[in-house]
Chain A
């Protein structure tokens, strides 16, 4: 309940300041436009569209998700948060906020891909949907934890992609595999190993987040 109240505060603040939403929206539009211009009249393979989808999602996450903690640190409101809530509440509240942003961002990107890329054809929608949910959750959890770490650093801008790359790489590689399988029309049982990896990744990152956040949050 307290975490949801914190999320509500962040969301209302976001609607007024547009710290993250504008950055995400602009990044998505610019990236997809650049891809469309560079492809031109060329036809691209189905696998490539699946790969491009996750590349756009990965870099969009880099551009907007760090704001959850960075904006608090830049405005100096971190102390206020420390004084009104327990670390686990802060982590949960920021995670809910990032989950909402990631799902909004990923749904928009997928819809734009479906509209503009003829080659983006998913034959096993259930599997893609499963990967989409688990992948988005993984991105949100990892991004929240990394954002908390980098918000304390002086070189926030460069540190975020540097730290995110090794942490998100196993997730993105697994998502690419499942997307490829769902384009091929493979069944869920055929890609069960990859789905299990996603579930394990999400569980590990969530547990690590709650365990480590206390140490990150306190100066």
Chain B
């Protein structure tokens, strides 16, 4: 099992005067699947983006560690695979071209066998040379998983992982999450009961919305 952990230390996020969450303290460790639950607009996506290091928190800190050593922010992207409704891939390129570019920019060799096996798993192998602009929303969602898994990340962050997927796609995603969660750390932000049923532990964002004066 990979010895990866994410520690949230007094994490607070506000947008102007609006409080999204306050003082979130939690530790996520590899070998588990965690859930982030909460109603629409509760801040699940915001929290997952803060964990991914693409959005700053207002207060507090997120500490990513591998084998007990803190990962510096500029190296964080090498450890994280992120699937999100806000993620957009380059639609002027084919799936294969996207993956080749991503591998080069990530500084890893383009492992043809592994990338093709990912495309096969998510049912995109036959369409790998088609431009993404011709993909359906479900196919684009599957492609986001290939993108997220391409560099074998130690942390898989999934925001609404099954949106736009058909039943077969959902089953594929659930199998991948279960398998990946055995060795690595998986965090799912979702409202779907079936998504959250995969999790060992669920963190409800609504529990971190209290202003000090409200108590």
* Interface residues of A, Cβ cutoff 8 Å to B: 1-2, 5-6, 8-9, 12-13, 16-17, 75-77, 79-80, 82-89, 93, 218-219
The answer to whether A84 and B55 touch across the interface, beta carbons within 8 angstroms, is: no
Contact A84 to B106, CB < 8 A, known contacts A79-B84, A218-B54, A219-B54: yes
Are A5 and B104 in contact, CB atoms less than 8 angstroms apart?
A: yes
Please tell me the number of chain B residues within 8 Å of chain A, measured between CB atoms.
28
Known interface pairs A79-B84, A218-B56, A219-B56; A85-B90 also in contact (CB < 8 Å): no
Q: A8 — which chain B residues lie within 8 A by C-beta? A: 101, 104
A-B Cβ contacts below 8 A, count: 74
Q: Are A83 and B52 in contact (CB under 8 A)?
A: yes
Chain A residue nearest in CB terms to B153: A83
Bound form: Cα–Cα A87–B82 in Å:
17
Known A-B contacts A83-B54, A218-B56; the reply to A76 vs B86 at CB < 8 A is: yes
- Does the CB pair B77–A82 fall under 8 Å? yes
Query: A83-B77, A84-B102, A85-B77 given as contacts; is B55 within 8 A of A219 (CB)?
Result: yes
**Interface residues in B107-137 (C-beta closer than 8 Å to A):** 107
Q: Roughly how many angstroms separate A217 CA and B81 CA in the complex, as a whole number?
A: 19
* A-side contacts of B3, CB under 8 Å: none
Asked if B87 is an interface residue, CB under 8 A from chain A, the answer is yes
B69 interface residue per 8 A CB criterion: no
Q: Min CB distance, A195 to chain B, in Å?
A: 35
A residues in contact with B74, CB < 8 Å: 86-88
Let me know if A79 and B86 touch, CB within 8 A. yes
Cross-interface CB contact of B54 among A5, A9, A82, A86, cutoff 8 Å: A82
Give chain A nearest CB distance to B101 CB in angstroms. 4
Contact assessment for A13 and B90 in the assembled complex, using a CB-CB cutoff below 8 Å? yes
Of B55, B88, B105, the residue contacting A5 (CB under 8 A) is: B105
